[in-house]
Chain A
């Protein structure tokens, strides 16, 4: 590994950290996800890729179009900051809680805020898009012995990340690429995210997440322009009138579309397999040659179905496990914070302990609440106010 000047690492880290503070435009909360955020992470100064995912229209679960880009790099750096900071604070609260409080996003553990957990498309605050082109290089940039320096930089940054513009100003332009925010429109009538364009200019592709509905709109537009050969990206874009759809999206999609139309075979993956010598494969694998093609296909289909079914089961289990874990953790932390504040969980207990301290004759009165009514009203009243 090469040695890198600390400064450079610092700026790398800084630019990394900016991503965390990319402003999150307010989302019109439609109860569905309508996050609009695009984030651009280029850790090394190379021609950048701006990774933004627009999910347009709805697929089966009615997800609104959105852009999944993320600040998980931000998330990660928060984590790092937190864990380092907590070391510096000489063992303050556990890492868990320091995450919560230190994150500029108000704590990723604020689930209602950060995660609309439905299937099908949520631009969570913590989606991350970060793209070091080579992790070795990336790791090199980060490796530094100057830990205190690093954490100091991060400290400063995080303290100053109250506003989007602040953080941007701070960032040396070196490795920082654009943050471009685009709305995520919906072909299917869902009002989506806010529109805001960053002042910086991002070249590069924002990745679009297509849906069948959007594609159908695309096909219609193409057909109305005389077919895939005649249609131009510009023309298609104009007809489609979908917010956030750029000419780059359309262009690349059109290219794919043309290829698919004129070579209507299974995708490249399938056809590349065809280049293998078919005979060899047939003789080596009894299963296909011996049982006839239809049966072979049936079998293949059956196996595929099984795999898919198992995958869905597995996925659901995994989701449930995580939910449980999340719930348990929240409960655990609630419990912890309750204990830390020194408050008992029940008012009975506090009343009792107060009473014990006071050593009054009337302490008996509060012990049994059922008899309160029968007590002399004034004295019990006084007692109650004293002991809160």
Chain B
């Protein structure tokens, strides 16, 4: 019950184009609860879901690869153009790039999160199926899933980490810039663009924490609770709207 609710919330918080790409957990659960769930139907549905994940994931990944290069190029051009000049337009443009980097980073992380949520959902639904049917479908099926394109997130993770390193170079050394007026103009568009990603990210973190809090079926094979100590410190001074944190 809990996962179903969580994934639903996660989907609601996710970027609009993504919303129909997630696992149809509830439908699958209903299928399992139905009087005579044929195994091949169940498996067929899972397969089609997996294909959906693969298609979406690979496409997003392609977009990311392209954008990755474009962003690098932009930074390079900017540095070449302005050299060491620290004038207004330079700061504006670098502010733009900064925002774009952060949002890009965020989107990639969300794709990794997408992959993980769907994997988790698959594993859970298989577990439910086995419980109901008395079979042992789960383990071999999961083995198969581990080799699916959508599960192999290494490339995206690598890009994520690259940008985490790069952003340090692009962020200002001090907070003095925060008080400059020119930031106001950037604030508007940035807030709007980043907000969706930001909310989504926070929602994903909360989902993860809640899911791993322990359940009635908690066992030796379950994941341990999430250690989000640092995150709580980060989020504390911010008033996050309650729907996300409930």
Contacts and interface: CB of A to CB of B under 8 A. Distances in A.
B191 A278 contact: yes
B182 to A, nearest CB: 10
A288 B105 CA distance: 18
B107 A270 contact: yes
B12 interface: no
B196 A273 contact: yes
Contact of A319 (B146, B172, B191): B146
A95 B135 contact: yes
Instruction: Among A127, A303, A325, find the residue whose CB has the most chain B CB atoms closer than 10 A.
Output: A303
Given A267-B107, A287-B239, A310 B208 contact: yes
Interface stretch (A174-182, A191-199, A210-218, A230-238): A210-218
Interface string A239-275: 0000000000000010011001100111111111110
B63 A300 contact: no
B188 A269 contact: no
Interface stretch (A137-145, A157-165, A363-371, A378-386): A137-145
A269 to B, nearest CB: 4
A267 B71 CA distance: 11
Contacts of A212: 65, 68-69, 155, 159
Secondary structure class of chain B's binding surface, majority of residues: helix
A306 B231 contact: yes
B51 A60 contact: no
Contact of A303 (B141, B234, B239): B234
Contacts of B223: 314, 317-318, 321
A104 B140 CA distance: 16
Contacts of B226: 310, 314
Instruction: Among B135, B148, B202, find the residue whose CB has the most chain A CB atoms closer than 10 A.
Output: B148
A265 B100 contact: yes
B7 interface: no
Interface string A290-316: 001111111111111111101110110
A171 interface: no
B152 A253 contact: no
Contact of A296 (B38, B50, B194): B194
Instruction: Among B17, B95, B140, B238, find the residue whose CB has the most chain A CB atoms closer than 10 A.
Output: B140
A18 interface: no
B152 A266 contact: no
Interface in B18-68: 18, 24, 27, 38-41, 43-48, 50-51, 54-55, 58-59, 61-68
Given A80-B39, A297-B194, A132 B44 contact: yes
A232 B99 CA distance: 33
Given A124-B147, A132-B48, A274-B192, A297 B102 contact: yes
A151 to B, nearest CB: 10
Given A142-B40, A215-B65, A269-B15, A95 B99 contact: no
A211 B65 contact: yes
Contacts of A79: 39-40, 43, 137, 140
26 contacts: A53-B54, A59-B155, A79-B39, A108-B143, A109-B140, A115-B147, A117-B147, A120-B155, A121-B152, A129-B54, A142-B40, A142-B41, A211-B65, A270-B196, A273-B197, A282-B188, A286-B239, A293-B95, A297-B190, A301-B102, A301-B167, A303-B202, A310-B208, A311-B112, A311-B113, A321-B223
The 4 closest A-B pairs by CB, nearest first: A76-B43, A124-B147, A292-B178, A126-B144
